[in-house]
Every structure is written in structure tokens, then in C-alpha cells.
Structure 1
Amino acid sequence: MDNSKKYLSIAFVVILVVVVIVSALGIWMLGRKPVILQGQIEATEIRISGKLPGRIDTFLVEEGQNVRKGDTLVVINSPEALAKYEQVNAMENIAVYQNQKIDDGTRKQIVESARQLWNKSKSDLSLAKVTYDRISALYRDSVVTSQRKDEVEALYKAAQAGERAVYEQYQMALDGAQKQDRESARSLVNAARGVVGEVSVLLQDARLVAPETGQIAAIYPKRGELVGAGTPIMSLVVLEDAHAVLNIREDLLPHFKMGETFRADVPALSQKGVVFRINYISPLGSYATWRSTKQTGSYDLRTFELHALPEPQLEGLRPGMSVLVNMDEQ
């Protein structure tokens, strides 16, 4: 009986020691739980839109299709823009021809006619002068009256004024348009060409091309639908710009320095220990996750946003994939 109690006491002690050891190991293991930071992959997304309102004529790509920079993505049909282009082209031709007309000057026939009129006025002036000289001589000899002399003198002065007026008309015909008219005509040509250039640039948006190499993430309108100027038609994801985004508490920032690297796992690709190089660190707003360092709160831990690029570029990396960082391995 005494031996049984002795064995029971020993067994109880052993069990108690095992429970204590297991509890201590459990507490130690819980205390050693690794800190895992979870982020995700993001990439630059470009919304494709144009300045030309019209109707979707043709889609040359599909969602999920990879495209290269400069590839044509969609064709927009805008009859109004084409009509406007023809209109401004016609206005440019009118301005050009008007400018040529002014630069060429007055027609030769008009110039010759003005010259002949000037010659006639010179002959009339010469005759009037001879007549005036004769009448003046006769007046000095008291052969004619003073009234006759005044009449001839008036005709002579009228002939002088007429000759001068016809001469100015002849010079105007020779000179052509005034300087202001020439400059005005040239300005009209430049203005017309500017409008043509503006409409031409607008018509270039009838065929929208990929601004970067990437993948078509989404197409919003359907074929045949009307779109306005600036309306997003599709979105393009630049996969070459895929990068990890992590939110880091400031007490963990000493492990992450600008320009340095860290290792992370990408479960979606079954990749472990992928090297990322940090290229951006910035504090989040006051609304972001924070934590007090003490129960009473001596100061708050802010959260920082971190961006990092994979080195080298990882094939198949796509936006939305998770990134796991084990702080014990950093």
C-alpha cells in the first residue's frame, strides 16, 4: 500500500514536471512568433482616352492582351471632325489665294491704263500751259481782257491738279496693295494654317495608340457606342513597373532604408526570398493605422508606405499578388 502511494506520488510529480515543461515551451514558442508583414504588388495604370468625340468604330485589342508602345488600340469615327477638316482646308486655300493676289500686285492691264491716263493728263497740262503763256503775253499787250486771262489761268491750274492726281493713281497701281494689306493677308494665311493644324492634331486621336508597353486591363465602352472628349476608353497596366507596396510601422523602419534591399515571398508565383530594392518611403496620412507605444500612450507610432522594385524583374508578377516579409529573416 505504501509502495502504491509512493509510485502515485512519483507519477504525479513527473506529470507535473512534464506539464510545466510543455507550458514553458508553449509560452516560449508563442513569444517567438515571427513578425510577418503583408503587402501587395501594384503597377502603373494608364487610362486611355482621346480628345476627339465620336463613335467607337473598331477595337484592335482585347482585355488581357499584351501590347507594345505605339500599337493602335482603337479607332474612333467622327464625321463632324472630318467635315470640319475639309472646311478649314477650304478656308486656308482662300487665304492663300488672296495673299498671292496681293503679292502679285495690280494686273498689268490696270497699270497700263493708269499710265495712259497719266500721259493724257500730261498732254492736257502741256496744252494748258502753252495757252496760258500765250494769253498772258496778250494780256500784257492789252489784247485780251483780265477775265479771259483769269479763265485760262484757272484751266491751267486745274490741268496741273488733274495731272498730279492721275500720277498718284498710276503710282498706286504700280505699288499694288499697301503694306498693311500685305501683312493682314499673310496673317490670315497663318491663322488658317493654325486652324488646319489644330484640326489635324485632333483627327490623329481618331486612332488611339498605346503610350507604354503593357497589358490591357479593362475596356469600358462597347463597339458602336458614343464617347466624349476625355472619356476613358480602356486602361493599360504597365507590368514592367510592377512593384511591392508595404505599410510599415515606424518602429520597424530601421530594417528598411532607402536604396537598400530586403527579401520577401510571393506565394502566387511560389517564389521565396525574392529580392526587392526600396525606391520610395513616405508617411501615410493621419487617418492611417497607428499604435500607441504604451498603455498610457507616450507617443503614437505612425505608418509609412514603402515601394520596392524586384531585382531582377520577376516574370509573371502582376498587380494584386501578395508579398510576405518575415522580419526575423531581415
Structure 2
Amino acid sequence: MKLPKLVVPVLALTVLGIAVYAMWHHQPPAPEQLQGMMEARETDIAPKLTGRIAELHVQEGQRIEKGSLILRIDSPEVAAKLAQANNAEAAASAVAQKARNGARPEEIRMAQANYERARVGADLARKSYERVEGLFKEGLVAAQKRDEAEANWRASQGQADAAKAQADLARAGARSEDQAAATAQARQVAGAVQEVEAARAETELKSPVNGEVAKLLAKVGELSPAGVPVLTVVDLSDQWMLLNVREDQLQRFAIGREFDATLPALADGASKRVRFKVIASQVLPDFATWRSTRNNQGYDLRTFEVKAQPLKPIAGARPGMSVLVAR
């Protein structure tokens, strides 16, 4: 009995399907994996003042140490302020020195001479008054003449007292309060000089950390604004990985737990498999929820970001590399 022509192909396809199903059913499925990403500490470095970049001493990929010179900034404004501050400091120092030294010897001698002249004049006026007073008592001069002589004597005596005070002041020098004020003024100006010196030091931008130049945005001749990063330094010795985990798997990645992971980008061998330790975790926003509808358990599964550090630095690992964790 001959079979219809379509029956044979249908039977062949049926047998093939059964064979494929049997092979898939007996072969265990590939294990599921969680995929994370390597990270490293990055530092954005920015100048503290605005200026034009005059020299550039680093390039991308270069290893730099803390304190290494990155670039030099040309700032004429800082140079002008420094010159002004230095001149003001010199003037204030001179005033303070003058207050400490007091009057010059010539000024002291001049004040003493003025006092001697005034004292002699006062003695002469006193003697003239005494003579006129004697004549007045004898009735030889009028009271007006006696009063004029007395007034002249007392005025001369006042001038002598003022000249003596001036001479004493010249010998004593400036008051302690004036000296203190002049010294404080000098210190204030010196502080302004230090401030400008600090600004001048910022024209040489130096690295505050060790690491590798990951991104360089500065170019010679460009105007660099204050506070805008000009390069990024990555510290490859401070590494960690970030892994997104559903909350039903979070117990495995509790803080302090350890797990194994692989970095496919690294060479095959022992260095490819790495031991990590969980150091932190936090829930992601609602839009990152893995399951937005309720399942049979009656609640939505949230997603947590897990941060884990390798037990020792991974040689060759770079930020952005994939990390695979078997479920």
C-alpha cells in the first residue's frame, strides 16, 4: 500500500522534533548569571582661579603622583595684585618701624632747644614782672603796667611748659598704643600678601591624589574658568563593583557576605576569577523595579544596588568592565 506523498515529510519532521525535544529536555540549561560593572575612585581636578593655560605637563593614560605638576596658568591679574600687596607691605612696615624708633636725634635736639629758649624767655618775663611789681608797690607805675607784666610772664611760662612737654614726647617716642596700631597694620598687610601668594601658588595646578589620568579636557591656550574640572584622575587601587540584585536574591548579597565572580575581559586563568565582599547596598528608584506587576506572592520585587570590593586589587581591571556572577 503506497503512502501519500505528504505523509513522509510530515513523519520526518515529527521524528526530528521529537529528537530535538528529547535532547533539550535531557541537557541541563545553562546557568543564569548576574552582570555587574567594575568601578574605581575618580577625582575631578579643577583650578581655583580663572586664567589662560600656559603649560600642560600630563596626558591621558599617564600615571601621576600626589603633588605632581599638572599645568600652569597665566594670570596677569594675580601678578598685579601681588605687586600692589608687596608695596603696601613695605609702606606699612616702614610706618611700624618709625613708630618703634620714635623721633630722630635731630628732632629731639630741636625740641630740647625750643624748650631751653622758652624757659629762658619765661625766666626773663618773671624777673620783669617782679621788678614792675616792686615799682607798683612804691607807686611808681600804674596797675595796668603791672598786670601786663604778669600776663606776659604767665604766657611765657605756659610756652615753656608746652616746649618741655614736646621735648619729653620726642625723647619718649610714639605711644605704646600707636606702636601697637602700626604693628597691627603691618601684620594685616602681610596677611594680604600671603593671600595673594596663595592665589599665585594656585597658578600651578598640582594633583591632590595618586592615580592615572583618565580624561584630559585642558588645552594650551584655552581660558580655564575657576572650579571647572580640567582632568579626571582614576585610582585603580581603589576598586569595587556595582551589581543590581532583585530583593528575593538579596540575602545572598547581604553586607559582609563574600562571593566569586569573573571578569570576561581579563585573560583566562586564575586572575579571571575574583573573590568579592559586599560592603554596601541600597534600593534603586521605583522605575528600576524588575517586576512592576504583582506576582503570586502578593508584592512587587524591588531592585537593590549592591557594592562589593575585591579582597585584593585586580590587576588589569578597568572601570566599566563587565563582572559576571553565577546565580
Aligned to 1:190: 187
Matches within 5 A, 1:51-200: 51-200=48-197
Query: Which amino acid is 1:315 matched to?
Result: A
Deviates more, 1:20-29 or 1:244-253: 20-29
Instruction: Tell me if 1:311 matches 2:311.
Output: yes
Aligned mates of 1:38, 1:175 — CA distance in 2: 86
Q: Distance in 2 between matches of 1:249 and 1:178?
A: 80
Shift of 1:323: 0.7
Distance 1:138 1:282, change over 3 A: same
CA contact (8 A) 1:48 1:236 kept: yes
Change (3 A) 1:258 1:297: closer
Q: In the alignment, is the contact (CA less than 8 A) between 1:70 and 1:211 conserved in 2?
A: yes
Q: Percent identical across equivalent pairs? A: 37
Q: What one-letter code is carried by the residue in structure 2 that aligns with 1:277?
A: K
Contact 1:39-1:324 within 8 A present in 2 as well: yes
| Displacement of 1:262 | 1.2
Separation (CA, whole Å) in 2 of partners of 1:21 and 1:63: 54
Alignment of 1:192-231 (within 5 A): 192-231=189-228
Does 46-55 or 36-45 show the bigger shift? 46-55
Match of 2:322 in 1: 322
Aligned to 1:259: 256
Q: Within 2, Cα distance between the matches of 1:27 and 1:95?
A: 95
1:39 corresponds to which of 20, 36, 40 = 36
- Cα RMSD after superposing both structures: 2.8
The equivalent residue for 1:276 is 276
Deviations 1:225-274 (A, max 9, x none): 22122222111111111211111222211111222311111111144431
Taking the aligned partners of 1:19 and 1:315, their CA distance within structure 2 comes to: 49
> How big is each residue's C-alpha offset from its partner over 1:12-64, in whole Å with a ceiling of 9 and x where there is no partner?
9xx99x9599569739945xx63421110111211121123222222212111
SS of the residue 1:287 aligns to: helix
1:26 maps to: 25
Q: How many residues align?
A: 312
Secondary structure in 2 matching 1:317: coil
Unaligned runs of 5+ in 2: 2-10
- How far, CA to CA, are the matches of 1:253 and 1:293 in structure 2? 19
Contact in 2 for aligned 1:52/1:203 (Cα 8 Å): no
Distance in 2 (CA, whole Å) between partners of 1:237 and 1:59 is 19
CA-CA distance at 1:208 after TM superposition: 1.7
Q: TM-score, normalised by structure 2?
A: 0.85
SS of match in other structure, 2:35: strand
Unaligned segments of structure 1, at least 5 residues: 2-11
Partners of 1:292 and 1:299 within 8 A in 2: no
Distance 1:83 1:21 in 2: 85
